Amino acid sequence: MAVEPIDTYSVLISSKVVYFLKPGDSVDREGIVLEVKYDDLFHCLVSREYGKVYVQLTKKAENSTSGVAIPGPSQQRPMVQVRNESLAYKISQQINFAKSLYYEQQLMLPAADDEDFLLLEF
């Protein structure tokens, strides 16, 4: 969906997962710094601490065994430093938008194989 270069790394926003990647010519598993699936992501927001700007991803903790995703003690908040606030807001909005599209697709009913269109009878 989107790729944003951020200083010494980049963020890849796909239809199911957000990846923060190390710089390099090839993309492989070793190049992934942070991987967050939308099923595990509560939200993404911009955070400021000590004069620096971060993209903060609130997600389920790795050891969370509960089937219900409720923010609370079983969550992690990894933060990725970004060079400026406008870029942080742009990335945060793109991640939250991609997450909402992902959940919208999960709620859609699958189309029947033999029905290409909806027939309406009056």
Distance CA 41, CA 60 (A): 7
Angle at 59 between CA 34 and CA 3, to 5 degrees: 40
pTM of this structure? 0.75
pLDDT computed for residue 30 by the predictor? 78
User: What does the pLDDT read at residue 60?
Assistant: 87
CATH class, 2-105 region: mainly beta
What is the pLDDT at residue 69? Answer: 52
Q: Is 67 exposed, middle or buried (0-12, 13-18, 19+ CB in 10 A)?
A: exposed
Mean pLDDT, each 10-residue run in order, the chain (122 residues): 75 91 72 90 94 92 56 76 92 94 85 59 54
